[in-house]
Amino acid sequence: MANQIIVNAKAEKSTISRMIYGHFAEHLGRCIYDGFYVGEDSKIPNVKGMRTDIIEALKKIKIPCLRWPGGCFADEYHWKDGIGPKESRPTMVNTHWGGVVENNHFGTHEFFELCEMLDAEPYICGNVGSGTVQEMSEWVEYMTFDGKSPMADLRRENGREEPWRLKYFGIGNENWNCGGRMRAEYYADEVSRYNLYARDYGENKLYRIGAGPRGANYKWTEVLMRDASMYLDAIALHYYTRIGDKIVISKLPDGNERYHTDSTKSRKSATNFDESQWFGVMQAAAFTEELVSKHTAIMDKYDPDKKVALIVDEWGTWFDNEPGTNPGFLYQQNTLRDAVSAGVSLNIFNNHADRIHMTNIAQTINVLQAMILTEGSKMVLTPTYHVYDMYKVHQDAKLLDFAMLSDDYVCDGETLKKVSCSISKDKEGAINATLVNVDPNEGAEVVCHIADFGKIGSVEGTVLTSDAMNTMNTFDNPNQLQPTGFTDFQVEGDKITIKMPPKSLVLISVKA
């Protein structure tokens, strides 16, 4: 059977929010310090302590938003420690991540400065797990209150006259575990309470994001939608692409269930793997479709008009840390396998753009499935970075409806769809299709019919692929894997026949 796509150029669906291409920066390992922020006295070129090479690289992929300060760190972060003169900011121990001392030199002001430099929307996650309603309420007042008030005056004392504009605000993180080990019912009450005192000041309207479930914890979504969705703009799913990750359900004495992970045995090397581990990651990435569909079905029950969005504000691959690095720093290399699995996931997110408003891959620099790795003044753009570069054509474009047939990719007797894609139409009317072939052994011929487009004027292609499954960019060889021009396609009337290499991502851009 051939792989076939039939797309109608006029069958526009939802807009693919550019926020689907969002990122995440936690005080974890070397993401902030030694990543984004090197300090003003560093010899590495910087503006106000932020690395200029990193800012440029992220602007190139049009980073639309950045989530901060965590993750688990958010639920033990006390924002007042991160304001005022740097030398007098108190220190704390980052107990979640490596037990290192956090000097709080990167705080609220620095985060907003970073977002301004990146031209990205700030997304701040507040502390529910170990904070108080008052602390969260005062943080919102500090950031967004225009008039005279204790917190707005404190902000002015610290050098910022005008309030910042803050839209995206998270009310806790993973409150089923590191954010307070709460039951869904308890969190639903807490999120409603905290939310009430996180005020909208003046023109500033918060977009309120509740901490959603981990993976297949459908009960969490059910309870949150039932009991708290009337106060929320979105709920945030977390799903890491790990091999053989298991969700363990413990029954509590009151009959409720608590979900946690048994993943201790499942993490594997990021760079040294065989085909069955390649398959495992692709299977885990493809599972995103089931997760998103099932959570969406629950949301549809309570919110058929899709007023409450699904956000996936943590996702990506999670492997063993690189040998010789602090296990609490979650530093992992990044190969073609990461790139291909990111392509699979991003296609799924695009295709669910009617419900998904934002996603934030974890994490931007030096942590998990990073865009950028640093070593002193050196910087490497990972294969995953290049996927974001290729897929940026979808940002704020119209998702197009399509039908697809795909061959199977078989490994160890298990099957997966070999080819996946998403297709959008940009403001100029160009059609962009991002195709992924997960089969590491065989190429894929894909026949794509474009109806209702008129005469095809030009077709351009870009490909990301390599001979080895684990090709990566290193500090010694930073450009081993990069997108290149792709011409292995033929146009005949409204039909384009694309010959995808094994284990590849292909972008096809069609203009009238």
Q: Which residues have a catalytic role annotated?
A: 174, 314
Site for ligand AHR in 279-318 (CB under 6 A): 314
SS3 state at 24: strand
Nearer to ligand AHR, 332 or 363 (CB): 363
Do 137 and 146 meet the contact criterion of CB atoms below 8 Å apart?
A: no
Counting contacts by CB under 6 A, is residue 35 touching ligand AHR?
no
End-to-end CA distance of the chain: 30
Min separation Cβ 349 and ligand AHR, Å? 18
Site for ligand AHR in 166-195 (CB under 6 A): 173-174
**CA–CA distances in Å: residue 391 to residues 15, 61, 208, 397, 510:** 15, 9, 27, 11, 15
- Residue with CB nearest ligand AHR? 71
Stretch binding ligand AHR (CB under 6 A), from 68-76, 85-93, 160-168, 290-298:
68-76
When binding is defined by CB under 6 A, the residue of 69, 70, 129, 343 that contacts ligand AHR is 70
Site for ligand AHR in 326-365 (CB under 6 A): 362-363
Nearer to ligand AHR, 315 or 388 (CB): 315
- CA atoms of 66 and 506, how far apart (whole Å): 27
Do 117 and 66 meet the contact criterion of CB atoms below 8 Å apart?
A: no
- Candidates 138, 95, 7, 112; CA nearest to 50 is 112
Residues contacting ligand AHR: total by CB under 6 A = 10
When binding is defined by CB under 6 A, the residue of 66, 72, 397, 498 that contacts ligand AHR is 72
Give the residue carrying structure tokens 């479930």.
213
Min separation Cβ 368 and ligand AHR, Å? 6
Nearer to ligand AHR, 238 or 425 (CB): 238
Nearer to ligand AHR, 28 or 421 (CB): 28
Q: What is the DSSP letter of 322?
A: P
Helical segments of 47-128, H only: 52-60, 108-118
Counting contacts by CB under 6 A, is residue 71 touching ligand AHR?
yes
Min separation Cβ 179 and ligand AHR, Å? 8
Counting contacts by CB under 6 A, is residue 245 touching ligand AHR?
no
Nearer to ligand AHR, 24 or 207 (CB): 24
Counting contacts by CB under 6 A, is residue 141 touching ligand AHR?
no
Q: b/e map of 384-415 (b: 16 or more CB within 10 Å)? A: bbbbbbbbbbbbbbbbbebebebbebebeeee
- CA atoms of 39 and 105, how far apart (whole Å): 8
Do 374 and 55 meet the contact criterion of CB atoms below 8 Å apart?
A: no
Counting contacts by CB under 6 A, is residue 26 touching ligand AHR?
yes
Contact footprint for ligand AHR (CB under 6 A):
26, 70-72, 173-174, 314, 362-363, 368
